[in-house]
Structure 1
Amino acid sequence: MKAVGVIVEYNPFHNGHQYHLNETKLKTNAECVIAVMSGNFLQRGEPALVSKWTRTKMALEAGIDIVVELPYAFATQKAETFANGSISLLNALYCEEVCFGSENGTIDDFKNTVSFMEKRQEEYDQYLSQAIKQGYSYPKASSLAYSSLSGTDTYLDLSKPNNILGFHYVKAIHNQKRDMKASTIKRTSADYHDESFTHETIASATSIRKALFSKEIDLTNIENYIPKTTLKWLSSYYNEHQMFHQWEEYFTLLKYKLLTSTPAELEQIYEAEEGIENRLLAHITEATTFHEFMEQIKTKRYTWTRLQRLCLHILTNTTKSALKPLLEKQTTTYIRLLGMSKKGQRYLNTIKKDVQLPIISKVTAYENDLLELDIKATQTYLSIFPEPLRSTLLRQEYSTPPIRFDEVSKMYL
């Protein structure tokens, strides 16, 4: 069976994701689609709207065959680290191809850019260093360095979020010497950062979440932009938990952590650099909401995303000494299986003797420093729930086996 990989967050799964999935199947002729999906916290340093288990069900019912979790250590990182972890997982599962969405839509441009950058890495690093010294954020400095290096001969617009990710996926395949093909599908109708609806049925996840939280929770605001299965699982999650996850729900916990920490303690947190912890402490006392706090601490150099990731690592108490050693090889050390269709199970049966990494069905069956971070992240994600619901959900995290879905009968097994 030919397997193709997709790298996703599905926060939530929407019509644009369905388009990408359908086009991926057509473009690659894949018999099995494997999704590497971020867990309960995402690349921009924010909590997922609903749990990874609910998003797994959305993915399986939409046509994904296997869902595996991208560990917290990779899922909440800059694009390069996020890509390295994701590609290493797809390679471990013997994917022949990865297919990603991009603003560019032409795979040769990504390959040419990777080749170009490799040949001129030293010059690029110099331009990058200069831009950072001028006070630009890393993403902006990286884009400026590439533009300075390539002049008018640019292959990609590396200021676009999906182009950036796609570039790092192709680069990760190249650097890790993976025997994997890459392909891309052009994004249509809605940009990644769009905050409002501009199309009848296609919208960015950002605009969907904004509409969802604009007033009182009202799923009718977004039903034109998500599949019926997504609407079903969002409704189910809200009815059961009486909330969707967003940073505001965690602000009280973050404020407590900051107010009870010293600058020296905060300096040990991953991504706390150049005394930024002092800026956080200077503003946390007066801030009454997370949004207000972020508006006060963001600067030209420290983007909203970077600061969100720092706040998340403070919340989960993820230190430099704990995380940096785990990222040295830039590859994962296990496969956490979240769900599979019958077809996905058949595929796993054909490769399981050759898979070099342990496939984890339950966290109690495996001890690993990388996995410990995932467990701590889940404990943090669930910390906003009242008891006894919180303890019940924590027990489920330890005991829940992979979700099994029959794609023919549309029934869970």
Structure 2
Amino acid sequence: MKKNPVIGITAEWNPFHSGHAVMIKEIRKSFPDARIISAMSGSFVQRGEPAIFDKWSRASWSISSGVDAVFEYPALYVLQSADSFSENAVHLLHDLGCTHIAFSTESLDKNQLFDIARWMQTEDYTARLHQELKNGLPYSRAASAAINSFSNKLYQELIKPNNLLGLRYVETVSKYYPDLEVFITHRDMEHNISASDARAQLLETGSSLLLPPNIQEEAEILMQSGNYTDFNRYEDACLFMSKALGLSDLSDSGLFTEGLENKWKKEAEKTTFPQMLSGIKSKRYLYSKLKRISASLLLSGTKKPSP
């Protein structure tokens, strides 16, 4: 007897907006008998910041919109590079019994993504990647440069964030789980809804029309009652932690390489967190990576990470 499909989604729902609701409806239309489960980032998200709303509200909103169950994706994996974030998410969804993973892209379809993923397992790609790493680029940018040297047209498509994240999911499926099916929906780029736009509206006005109507009301209540992330206070906490920790604490944290902790400690004397990050940022250390380090420091303090 054939089992009903179990569709897995990696999500942050930060916040849950109308585009997310459309995606779930499309999955339901294609798989009416399926269970839909989500591996959702908890209090922190992959960009290295706290989510705007608590994880319970965000999970509840996805359940009310058609998801059957939400499992927290641990911060240990959330606060990683996009490659590690997506790979570990696929491992988790597979271990939870998913038969399919679903995600949205701006343009690329399943066959295109698998073609790219297979090429990235060839000697040609490896040689191009190693050359870019020798040029001093961090891994993610070296990978993009290697793709650009192979095909500028392909590179231009993979600049789009959901195309790129989709590729990372498919890479993991291709390497480890050939029986795991992939289901892709395409974002409406003419009426594109982004979580960053929704957050900006919420922080500026206390409301956002980009959220489904029932969620709009709940989000407004959370904003009015102060139950949302004050990013200014969060940045102050990050700066304070960097000032409070000694150089040996930073070295022992396991979060720094190539002597970055020395630059980190020096720049922690700046007045604001953005000023501190601006002093550290380089071609090799992008803001996203620095923010993930800051979040990890705030969560772990002087404790060394688990092996």
* TM-score under structure 2 length normalisation: 0.89
Q: Distance in 2 between matches of 1:175 and 1:320?
A: 34
Aligned partner of 1:38 among 37, 41, 50: 41
Question: Do the aligned partners of 1:37 and 1:69 also contact (CA within 8 Å) in 2?
Answer: yes
Change (3 A) 1:309 1:178: same
Give the 3-state SS of the residue equivalent to 1:173 in structure 2: helix
Q: Percent identity?
A: 28
User: Does residue 1:210 correspond to 2:168, yes or no?
Assistant: no
Structure 2 match to 1:147: 148
Alpha-carbon displacement from aligned partner over 1:11-50 (angstroms, at most 9, x marks no partner): 0001111121112222344522111111110111110111
Question: Do the aligned partners of 2:77 and 2:88 also contact (CA within 8 Å) in 1?
Answer: yes
Q: Distance in 2 between matches of 1:273 and 1:247?
A: 27
- The residue correspondences of 1:317-356 to structure 2 (distance < 5 A) are 317=300, 322-323=305-306, 325=307
Q: Distance in 1 between matches of 2:193 and 2:154?
A: 28
User: Does residue 1:232 correspond to 2:222, yes or no?
Assistant: no
Aligned partner of 2:252 among 268, 282, 299: 268
- The residue correspondences of 1:342-381 to structure 2 (distance < 5 A) are none
Using the TM superposition, give the Cα deviation of residue 315 of structure 1 relative to its aligned residue in structure 2, in angstroms: 0.8
User: Does residue 1:78 correspond to 2:62, yes or no?
Assistant: no
Structure 2 match to 1:303: 286
Alpha-carbon displacement from aligned partner over 1:147-198 (angstroms, at most 9, x marks no partner): 22x33684883322212211121121222235210121122237xxxxxxxx
Using the TM superposition, give the Cα deviation of residue 145 of structure 1 relative to its aligned residue in structure 2, in angstroms: 1.2
Question: Do the aligned partners of 1:113 and 1:156 also contact (CA within 8 Å) in 2?
Answer: no
Change (3 A) 1:152 1:282: closer
Using the TM superposition, give the Cα deviation of residue 65 of structure 1 relative to its aligned residue in structure 2, in angstroms: 0.9
Q: Distance in 2 between matches of 1:254 and 1:22?
A: 39
Using the TM superposition, give the Cα deviation of residue 230 of structure 1 relative to its aligned residue in structure 2, in angstroms: 2.0
User: Does residue 1:16 correspond to 2:19, yes or no?
Assistant: yes
User: Does residue 1:172 correspond to 2:178, yes or no?
Assistant: no
Aligned partner of 1:283 among 267, 270, 275: 267
Q: Distance in 2 between matches of 1:320 and 1:169?
A: 31
Structure 1 match to 2:139: 138
How many residues are treated as equivalent by the alignment? 304
Structure 2 match to 1:182: 182
Aligned partner of 1:293 among 258, 261, 276: 276
Alpha-carbon displacement from aligned partner over 1:109-139 (angstroms, at most 9, x marks no partner): 111111111123xx43443343244343432
Q: Distance in 1 between matches of 2:171 and 2:238?
A: 35
Structure 1 match to 2:104: 101
User: Does residue 1:252 correspond to 2:236, yes or no?
Assistant: yes
Using the TM superposition, give the Cα deviation of residue 59 of structure 1 relative to its aligned residue in structure 2, in angstroms: 0.6
Q: Distance in 2 between matches of 1:75 and 1:126?
A: 29
Structure 2 match to 1:314: 297
Change (3 A) 1:57 1:6: same
Structure 1 residue runs without a partner (length 5+):
191-198, 326-413
Question: Do the aligned partners of 2:147 and 2:155 also contact (CA within 8 Å) in 1?
Answer: no
Structure 2 match to 1:66: 69
Using the TM superposition, give the Cα deviation of residue 204 of structure 1 relative to its aligned residue in structure 2, in angstroms: 0.9
Give the 3-state SS of the residue equivalent to 2:49 in structure 1: coil
Using the TM superposition, give the Cα deviation of residue 55 of structure 1 relative to its aligned residue in structure 2, in angstroms: 0.5
